[in-house]
Amino acid sequence: MIELLLIGIGTGNPDHLTLQAVKALNSADLVLIPCKGEGKADLAELRRSICDEVLTNPATKLAEFGLPVRDPANPDYESRVDDWHDAIAMVWKDTILAELGAKGRVALLVWGDPSLYDSTLRIAGRVARDLPIQVTVIPGITSLQALTAAHAIPINEIGAPFAVTTGRRLREEGWPAGIDTIAVMLDGECSFRSVAPEGVTIWWGAYVGMEDEIVLFGPLAETAEKIADARAEARAHHGWIMDIYILRRA
């Protein structure tokens, strides 16, 4: 039996790891480090830095693997993602068998928390079709928690609901009905520019909780282009960006 430890690591800041996460990491026989290509090499380096800082078990091995990319030729979003997850699951399985065999503890370091807009649990389910695995989740700080902390704001108004959605849904479906506060993730298109800005405030952050953290907030009408410019500049500088924002209607 293989135990697959999915360890939430927050935004990659070692200070964001819980004691439970540190203990789980040190209990692993193998830690998998995904590599997303040259332009995102520092994402793998962040994971290695976390291991360097908190890993004290000399028996734990680290193994890197190349992360498959989504097929841009497939026009159907859900089908494209589904095929991508199948390809990732195959790489996980092959790497585990090559490095560890069919018995032991394998750890994967997951940005944020495996429960919030992350596909790690779904991919683990695919691996379980071919390998006898037990999945253990170690929760982590989400980017949403890090964002509200960076701006020192609550996510909701008193007694009011809020919604968490994606940039694609915000562009295609508009503002969710009956909700005044929305948190938007996975937005590579600055979809806040598709929202009527009157009476809307935005709180935005990139690399939240990391050394290169950038945060901006203010009325959407005055802040949208500042955020778009800061985002483009940061992405060009780093080669990648992780950002999230909250929109609230007055």
Residue, of 148 and 211, whose pLDDT is higher: 148
Based on DSSP, count helices (H) and strands (E) in the chain, helices before strands. Answer: 7, 10
Q: pLDDT tens across 170-220, in order?
A: 999 999 999 999 999 999 999 999 999 999 999 999 999 888 999 999 999
**Tokens 């996510």 label which residue?**
155
Q: Would you place residue 39 in the very low, low, confident or very high pLDDT band (cuts 50, 70, 90)?
A: low
- Domain positions in the chain: 2-138, 143-249
pLDDT at 41 over 70: no
Q: Which residues, including other chains, have CB under 8 Å from residue 89's CB and lie 6 or more apart?
A: 123, 124, 126, 127
β 200-206/181-185 pair status:
unpaired
Rg over CA atoms, the chain: 19
- Mean pLDDT for 74-89 is 88
Out of 3.40.50.1820, 2.170.150.70, 3.40.1010.10, 3.30.360.10, the CATH code matching 2-138 is 3.40.1010.10
pLDDT at 106 over 70: yes
In CATH, the number for domain 143-249 is 3.30.950.10
Q: Which two tokens stand for residue 184?
A: 């938007």
Contact between 29 and 60 under an 8 Å Cβ cutoff? The reply is yes
pLDDT reported for residue 217: 98
- Mean pLDDT for 223-233 is 98
Q: Which residues, including other chains, have CB under 8 Å from residue 44's CB and lie 6 or more apart?
A: 33, 34, 35, 36, 64
pLDDT at 37 over 70: no
Distance, in Å, from the CA atom of 6 to the CA atom of 121, rounded to the nearest integer, reads: 8
pLDDT at 10 over 90: no
pLDDT reported for residue 21: 95
Nearest to 155 by CA among 247, 35, 47: 247
pLDDT reported for residue 226: 98
Listing from the earlier edge strand, what are the strands of the sheet with 104-110? 61-66, 30-35, 104-110, 2-8, 133-138
pLDDT reported for residue 11: 80
Distance, in Å, from the CA atom of 12 to the CA atom of 29, rounded to the nearest integer, reads: 21
Distance, in Å, from the CA atom of 119 to the CA atom of 171, rounded to the nearest integer, reads: 22
**Tokens 């969710």 label which residue?**
176
Query: In sequence order, which ranges of the chain are alpha helices (DSSP H)?
Result: 19-27, 41-54, 77-99, 120-127, 143-151, 167-173, 220-238
pLDDT reported for residue 120: 92
Distance, in Å, from the CA atom of 188 to the CA atom of 201, rounded to the nearest integer, reads: 20
- Rounded to two decimals, what is the model's pTM? 0.85
